Each structure stands twice: as structure tokens, then as C-alpha cells.
Amino acid sequence: MTEDRTPRPVPQGRLTRMLRLGGLAGGMGGRALAQGARQLATGQRPSAQDLFLTPANAARLAGQLAQMRGAAMKMGQLVSMEAGDFLPPELTQIMARLRADADPMPPKQLQAVLDRAWGPGWLRHFARFQVRPIAAASIGQVHRAQTRDGRDLAIKVQYPGVRDSIDSDIDNMGLLLRIPGLMPQGVDLPALMDEARSQLHAEADYLREAAQMRLYAANLAGRDEFRLPVPDDQFSTADVLAMDFIDSRPIEALSDAPQATRDRAAHHLARLVIEELFRFDLMQTDPNFANYRWQPDETHPDGGRIVLLDFGATRGFSAPVAPRYLALLRAALADDREGVRRAAIDIGYFRDQTDAAHQDVLLQIMDLAFDPLRAGGIMDLTHSDIPRQVADLAMQVARTRTRAEMPPPEILFLHRKIGGLYLLLSRLRARVDLDALIRPDDLAQMLQARG
């Protein structure tokens, strides 16, 4: 998973990280000024967006954020998620790197982190400790180990300085993202920064993640279709999260399984997202494929369990969100366009005063998304043309409006999960029985039982 990444030390200290971002901003600005001067000399009138959003600048931005990791990288991920449909293709493609693996830290820095967490000589507790990480992301990297008493563990180690630099990283990234042309008009950058700050502080507390993992497991008690790791208290701290290692395969391995196995897994995954919103009010909002694994059942060739990983991005929603989505669903199934519009305004997709033409395009997108639900029956995600049609309409919005309107950050996280689920089920070439999954009365009962 991280074999093609070069280990790089994580920059530590607020001043060091500020200088990195400041140098990046200054370099981008200097190159833009030079390019602008050259174009003006030839009689051209360059726009700020064309000068700043060059492929070279986008590559430097994504590369530097991937090296810095921590809040800087997370902020880049959120920008990609928030404004992806409105960014130039070159920037969108390169920013996608931030949703993949990060650069791992070198062994010497790893040892220093574990010395602080466990004390010098910690290696005596282990029969085996794999120095090369099996995964590396924005906040930390994961190692496999076996204790002297035979426990197989996955150990997530937080990058040094991440927690202490969250606030300054977010503030400095805010200055960087205010460079003309980097962000579309209409993106609520202060709200995005506040959301990033809140999420990062939560994700950087590994003891909180362990508690969230246990709470999520309690919601799934008795559900044999899922398996979650169990935190190991002996080796878990605020900076290190140890849990039992679950031997499993990438979820994409299911794409070669019998159709019935794929469909059954797809049903469980889709049902889980519904329950996260309407029953649990607890959603794991990072749909990275690496957070889902498959554990085959050796006694039943067509059986197995879905392994769920990474609960740092687990969150609830404000009280009105689920009821408003239920209202949106009821209106859509009844083909009540005005009801859909009112529910969309309540959720925050647009305002009552938003230009009517823009509202109409967004309502067309919703109509496309809900069309399979109105049709009912089995939806084959392998052959669905809906994502392309939605993308075409989104590009129409980007071309025709000077100002993009974005829903509240918590809605973006919900979209992120639903969009990731759709991509996963498409990858599995699965079929989903919509009538069995989505019944408004059942969702209402979930809400009522939740209280």
C-alpha cells in the first residue's frame, strides 16, 4: 500500500510548518507574477485563475501538502471534496493524490514517537514489529506487530507534532487558499476551516477513536455480517492506537466473487449507511476503499464478513439532518417537485433567493439521483449512466455561474460517504434491491426509536 512512497520526515513545529506553507504561497505568487508579466508584454490579458491554477502550481501544492501531512493535508482533502466539481480538471486530478496514501515517516522518526508513547526499550514487548507501514494517511501510519504473548496487532502511530500544529496549519492553509483563483467563488472558506479544525482535533485523539470504535461495535452487536477490530488498551495512547489485526483481503477482491455474494455484501453496505444516518446517528464519514476489507468464510465458499476499519472520522449530525432527508425522500418518491425544493432549501443545497435557473439545474440533479428509487426493483450499478449525467449537469453549473453554492460542511461529509459507497458498489459490479432497502416508513420508525 505504501511501497511506492519515499519515507520523508514530518515537518515539526509551528514555525517550520508556517514557513513551508509561506514559501509555497510565495513561490506560487512569484511564478504567477512572472507569467502575467510575460503575457502582458505580448498583449494578452491573463486572469488570476489562469495564472495561479497552472498544472505546475497544482502539482507543487499537492506534493507539499502530502509531505507535510497532518492538518495541511486534511485541509487539501476537504477542499478537493468541497469544490471538486468546480475546480479545473488539472487541479482536481492532482489534488486527488491527497486522498491516497501519504508519505511515510522514516524509521528514526517513528522510533522517537514510540519512545515518547511507550518509553525506551518498548521493542522488548514484541516478538515482531514491522517497521515499514502497511498504510499511511494524513494523520498517521499503521504498522503490523506481534506481542510476546502472541497477539497480532495493527498499530496506528500519529505523525509527530500533528496535534499541536492543527490550529496554525488551518490558519496558514486559509491564507494560502485565499490566493486569487485557487478557490471558486461561493465556497464558504471560514466554515470549511472550522469544520477541518474540529474534525482534525477529533481525529488526532486516538483514545477518542478507540471509544468511537467500541460505540460503533455496540451498535452492530449480533450482526455477523460485519467485523470490527477491538482496541488494545495496553498499547493505546492519545498518539498510538493499537487494535487486533484482522487477517482479510481488500474489499475489491469481492469483484471476482459470485454475483450473489457481491449483491449480499452490497446490500449490507448500503443498509449500514442508512442505519448510520437514521438509526445510529453515528457515521464513519471516510469512504476510502482501504477502510473496508473482506474476510472470507473458509467453511462456506460463498460466505464471509465485511471488516470495517478507521473510526477517526466517525461523527454524528445535527438533529434536523435525518428528518429533513426523510422529507426530501418522501417528496421525491411522490414526484412532488415543490416538496423536493423546500426540503432542499431546508437541508442547505440552495437558498430561497437563489437564482431560479440555478435552482432548476440542482433540482434536475436530484431528480436524476432519485429516479432509480421511483422506479424501484433491482438497480444494477455496473451499467448505470446516472453518475455521468450528474457530472455533466455539475459542469453546466460550473460553466454558467460565477458563484458556486455549497451545502453546509456536515452535508458534504454525508455526500462523501454516499458517493464513496456508490463507487464501491459499482467497483463490485453489484445489484441492489432498492425496494428492500429504502422504505420511508421504516426510516421514520428508525428515527422514532432513536428518540
Cell digits for 382? 455496473
Q: Is 149 a catalytic residue?
A: no
Give yes or no for a contact between 406 and 241, defined as CB atoms under 8 angstroms apart.
no
Distance CA 314, CA 336 (A): 33
Q: Sign of the C-alpha dihedral, residues 449, 347, 419, 156? A: negative
Distance CA 56, CA 200 (A): 28
Cα–Cα distance list, 62 to 107, 329, 433 (Å): 24, 38, 40
Task: Name the active-site residue from 286, 335, 346, 360.
Answer: 286
243 CB-near residues (< 8 Å, 6+ apart): 153, 154, 155, 156, 210, 213, 229, 230, 231, 232, 236
Distance CA 94, CA 87 (A): 11
Active site residues: 286
